[in-house]
């Protein structure tokens, strides 16, 4: 049956409105719950960088919150390493990323144990092949050795670039150092090609402190990781330097 154009328009508008209202209501009612999930995941990520995925995975949600509240202190520094009077929650990492590196406000998470400062964790943000990637990097208190990393992404290819979220890839960064012997910042680079995966990939780069094995078929995502790491190590560099100076002075 042929219907008039005005009928079709009315029908389509009514349908669209109904769907829109339904979806808005759903979003509004689930928004808080979803935000809480994301916030909790962030806590898990930060703990994972220095405790390992297995340990954090075995923890109950209350334990995650307890350990996080005990050990992690959040703060914000500027490009010169000066501590600012604000909290990371007030910042949007993606918006800070778009600013010139000197003007960025940088969230920082310090992990303290019984013997004072243990690690610093920095959030990072960048672009992979298709969409945003982000991560958390834990450095030892020498401010140059990587304790552990966590990466996440929005739309990298499953099975290829999306492998950055796996422990297998993240383990490759452990123990690498971001400075050369003269103390200059060199970052850590993920190479092209892959040496067999798993332990083989780790051992192939054992004697190369600034390089990690690549991901076969995901060189462009790896490039994104490299840009992201280089960019943020540079941004936090003044803070790192200051920390090392402070420590030598107080010794």
- Least distance (Å) between residue 129 CB and another protein: 14
> Cα–Cα distance between 108 and 28 in angstroms, integer?
31
Q: Which two tokens stand for residue 151?
A: 């990466």
27 touches another protein by CB under 8 A: yes
Min CB(126)–another protein separation in Å: 19
Count interface residues toward another protein (CB under 8 A).
Answer: 24
Distance CA 75, CA 110 (A): 8
The piece of 69-77, 79-87, 100-108, 155-163 that touches another protein (CB under 8 A) is 155-163
Position 39 contacts another protein (CB under 8 A): no
Residue among 22 and 86 whose Cβ is closer to another protein = 22
Contacts of 221 (CB under 8 A, 6+ apart): 128, 129, 133, 153, 156, 157, 160, 161, 164, 215
Contact status: 34 vs another protein (CB under 8 A): yes
Nearer Cβ to another protein (2/248) = 2
Q: Mark the segment that binds another protein (CB under 8 A) among 32-40, 61-69, 80-88, 89-97.
A: 32-40
Which listed residue (13, 41, 82, 192) binds another protein by CB under 8 A? 41
Residue ranges of alpha helices (H) inside the chain are: 5-51, 53-57, 61-71, 93-98, 167-171, 198-204, 219-250
Q: Near another protein by CB under 8 A, which window of 8-16, 83-91, 166-174, 241-249?
A: 8-16
Which residues, 6+ apart, have CB-to-CB distance to 148 below 8 Å?
A: 48, 49, 50, 52, 138, 170, 173, 174
Rounded CA gap, 160 and 200, in Å? 18
Q: What residue ranges bind another protein (CB under 8 A)?
A: 1-3, 7-8, 11-12, 15-16, 19, 22-23, 26-27, 30, 33-34, 37-38, 41, 155, 158-159, 162
């Amino acid at each position: 049956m042929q219907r008039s154009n005005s009928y079709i328009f009315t029908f389509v508008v009514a349908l669209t409105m109904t769907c829109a209202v339904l979806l808005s209501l759903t979003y509004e009612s689930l928004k808080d719950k979803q935000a809480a999930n994301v916030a909790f995941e962030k806590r898990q990520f930060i703990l994972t960088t220095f405790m390992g995925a297995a340990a954090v995975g075995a923890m109950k949600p209350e334990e995650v919150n307890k350990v996080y509240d005990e050990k992690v202190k959040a703060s914000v520094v500027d490009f010169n390493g000066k501590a600012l009077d604000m909290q990371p929650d007030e910042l949007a990492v993606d918006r800070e990323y778009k600013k010139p590196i000197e003007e960025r406000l940088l969230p920082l998470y310090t992990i303290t144990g019984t013997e004072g400062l243990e690690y610093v964790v920095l959030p990072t943000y960048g672009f992979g092949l298709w969409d945003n990637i982000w991560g958390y990097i834990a450095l030892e208190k020498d401010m140059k050795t990587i304790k552990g990393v966590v990466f996440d992404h929005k739309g990298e290819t499953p099975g290829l670039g999306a492998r950055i979220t796996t422990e297998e890839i993240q383990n490759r960064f452990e123990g690498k150092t971001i400075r050369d012997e003269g103390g200059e910042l060199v970052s850590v680079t993920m190479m092209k090609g892959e040496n067999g995966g798993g332990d083989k990939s780790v051992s192939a780069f054992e004697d190369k402190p600034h390089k990690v094995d690549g991901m076969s078929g995901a060189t462009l995502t790896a490039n994104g990781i490299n840009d992201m790491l280089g960019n943020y190590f540079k941004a936090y560099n003044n803070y790192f330097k200051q920390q090392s100076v402070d420590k030598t002075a107080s010794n």
